[in-house]
Amino acid sequence: MSNASPASASAAASAISAGHRKVLEWLESSDSKRMLIGGKWVDAVSGKTFETINPSTEERLAYVAEADSADVDAAVAAARRAFESASWSGISPHARTRYLLKIADAVESHADELAVLETLDNGMPLSFSAARVAQVAEIFRYYAGWPTKIYGTTNPTDSARFIYMLREPMGVCGLINAWNVPLVMAAMKIAPALACGNTAVLKPAEQTPLTTLRLAELIEEVGLPPGVLNIIPGFGATAGGALVAHPGVDKVAFTGSTAIGKQILQSSASNMKKVTLELGGKSPNIIFPDADLDKALATAVATFCGNSGQICSAGTRLFVQESLHDEATERIAQIAATYKVGSPFDADTKLGPLISARQMERVLSYVDAGKSGGARLSLGGDRVGNRGYFVEPTVFSSVSNDMKIAREEIFGPVLSIIPFKDEDDVVFKGNDTEYGLASAVWTSDIARAHRVARSLKAGRVWINTYAEGDPVMSMGGYKQSGFGRELGSESIDAYTQTKSVYMRL
Ligand code: NAI
Ligand code: MG
């Protein structure tokens, strides 16, 4: 590489897509990326910036304005003004529909750019980010249909009275996201919040602020009134903390770790904010011997390796019946060994890097815990290379449900294969966790499929598949995976409140 000729350098440059070239121009177009407050792109009051890096190369991508409490104050004030202005609260639901449809179109017409930027900032394979961008457009389009359908009710009563229920927006929503699927999370919060007539202040994760900022630029271009959407990049303890504690915020929607979720619940109590929490998981993926094993095992690998395991609903506890344990382990390891770890821009890459050095160290420490805890390491367990935060697909077998690697969310490409005796045993073990985000059951016995689906204590159950989604279907947690739901009609519930009106005639 070091003695590459100018000719081969330009050949390499021409190999990047038009979208990629636009992203590089966008990154170079300013000294630092600013925050969006009240329809204006501004620096932090403190003038501070922070770096966001490319986790594949460990190189800086951009400096980004770093919000703190003064910026949060300004953003919340702007969101309040927008919420109360006739240009937002006074418009018809049809107009909100048109805004959301235009946002979906803008996302689609910039899909290549957004996918490349997501891959640069987060490290996810380009095929994965492209699929996520398509999902983002679909989420905006799904919620675009809602404003004209958010009905109240007329309530049954006698002829002397008239009772009805209005469904109204919450007001100013504080939205806080994690770094693992930044654009999808932004869409999952912004789209229903705006569909219901709220205004929002969004803090993207400090590791991945760029696509949210670019999405906000696109949203600005559709002519949304100033202050309806504000973006304040920054850190959790400062910008995030100030947003959650702010007396001018009516609702908080948070995606991230269970530990921070608990803190958020406490600090939001100051003014009784309505809170929805989308937290961690340790989801059981249950394969019965009568399942389509080829499909079940291939999907089991895809789900624990997808986004390098940095997915809240990943199926990280794989339950197989005792008689199948050794065969399943061997086949899982064989399939996972074919998964290429490498540059997320290579078409055949299945696993890009983890998000950060800290996350990589955390994941590798769980590998040590698995080995010292008595599980059998059947594949992987090491870092790949010494530049970028790449970790091999890692499979532990003969895991018991009480081991640390079976109890804690690892958020990396690490699978625990746990044997079970029978249906009762696996339902008990599957539910024996403090989490309850997702789950799956694989079987050809239709009665068993639905019986187990009812028995599992999780916000999502897949039958004979994993990780497929649709904006019509909600997600969210039982137990310490949080509360409130995102997507589907339940997000409309989460971003509205009801008012009963009683009139004596
Ligand atoms: P985190 O929960 O600290 O961060 C998530 C978001 O919350 C970020 O935007 C962060 O800036 C913000 N935040 C942090 N502290 C805050 C506070 N006091 N007030 C308000 N906002 C705050 O997660 P982190 O440290 O990035 O990841 C640590 C672990 O959490 C991961 O290894 C993983 O196990 C888990 N995690 C789970 C996710 C999920 O979707 N289930 C997503 C991200 C992390
Ligand atoms: Mg980054």
Cα separation, 26 vs 116, whole angstroms = 12
- Tens of pLDDT, residues 196-214: 999 999 999 999 999 999 9
Using CA atoms, how far residue 179 sits from 110, 121, 126, in Å, is: 21, 9, 16
Q: Is the pLDDT of residue 21 over 80?
A: yes
Shortest-distance Cα residue to atom 13 of ligand 1: 236
Can you tell me the mean pLDDT for 368-374? 98
119-39-97-179 Cα dihedral, nearest 10 degrees: 30
Ligand nearest to the CA of 410: 1
**How far is it, in rounded angstroms, from Cα 484 to Cα 274?**
10
Q: What pLDDT digit, counting tens, does each position of 289-308 carry?
A: 999 999 999 999 999 999 99
Residue nearest ligand 1's atom 12 by CA: 236
Q: How confident is the model over 22-30, as a mean pLDDT?
A: 96
Q: Which pLDDT belongs to residue 9?
A: 43
Domains defined for the chain, CATH in brackets:
10-279+483-500 (3.40.605.10), 284-473 (3.40.309.10)
Minimum CA distance residue for ligand 1 atom 22: 236
318-341: pLDDT as tens digits: 999 999 999 999 999 999 999 999
Q: Across the chain, what does the average pLDDT equal? A: 96
State yes or no: pLDDT of 221 exceeds 70: yes
351 sits in which H/E element: strand 349-351
pTM: 0.96
Gap from CA of 411 to ligand 1 centroid (Å): 11
Q: Return the ligand 1 atom nearest residue 358 CA.
A: 32
Cα 331 → chain centroid: 30
Q: Residue 6: pLDDT above 60? A: no
- In this structure, the residue with its CA closest to atom 27 of ligand 1 is 257
Tens-digit pLDDT profile for residues 101-125: 999 999 999 999 999 999 999 999 9
Q: What integer pLDDT is reported at residue 199 of this predicted model? A: 98
Locate tokens 């309040």: which residue? 80
pLDDT band at 15; cut points 50, 70, 90: confident
The residues lining ligand 1, judged by C-beta closer than 6 Å to any ligand atom, are 176-180, 203, 205-206, 235-237, 240-241, 244, 255-257, 260, 263-264, 279-281, 312, 359, 362, 409, 411
Summarised one tens digit per residue, pLDDT across range 37-52 is 999 999 999 999 999 9
CA 415 to chain CA centroid, Å, is: 20
Q: Is a pLDDT exceeding 80 seen at residue 4? A: no
72 pLDDT more than 80: yes
Q: What is the pLDDT of residue 14?
A: 55
Q: State the distance from the centre of ligand 2 to the C-alpha of 4, rounded, in angstroms.
A: 28
Nearest atom of ligand 1 to the alpha carbon of 362? 32
Measured torsion, CA atoms of residues 247, 258, 482, 119, in degrees rounded to the nearest 10: 90
Closest listed residue to residue 197, CA positions, set 166, 165, 227, 168: 168
437 CA: nearest ligand 1 atom: 41
Contacts (Cβ under 8 Å, ≥6 apart) of 500: 155, 163, 164, 165
* Digit-coded pLDDT (tens) for 438-471: 999 999 999 999 999 999 999 999 999 999 999 9
Please tell me the predicted confidence (pLDDT) of residue 477: 97
Q: Whose CA is nearest to atom 16 of ligand 1?
A: 236
Q: What pLDDT sits at residue 8? A: 44
312 carries an active-site annotation? yes
Q: Among candidates 473, 471, 468, which has minimal Cα distance to 140?
A: 471
- Mean pLDDT (whole number) for 381-410: 98
Ligand 1 atom with minimal separation from the 177 CA: 9
**From the alpha carbon of 281, which atom of ligand 1 is closest?**
41
Q: How many CB atoms lie within 10 A of CB 357?
A: 14
Whether the CB-CB separation of 130 and 141 falls below 8 Å is answered with: no
- Confidence band of 12 (pLDDT split at 50, 70, 90): low
Counting ligand 1 atoms within 8 A of each CB, the residue from 72, 260, 307, 435 with the most, and so the one to mutate, is 260
Q: Can you tell me the distance from the alpha carbon of 163 to that of 465, in angstroms, rounded to the nearest whole number? A: 45
- pLDDT tens for 172-181 read 999 999 999 9
Candidate list 312, 423, 486, 490, residue with the active-site label: 312
Indicate the top mutation candidate among 124, 176, 268, 475 to test ligand 1's pocket, ranked by most ligand atoms within 8 A of CB: 176
Give yes or no for residue 356 having a pLDDT over 70: yes
C-alpha span between 442 and 321 (Å, rounded): 12
Q: Which residue's C-alpha comes closest to atom 30 of ligand 1?
A: 257
The single residue of 278, 409, 423, 486 carrying the catalytic annotation is: 278
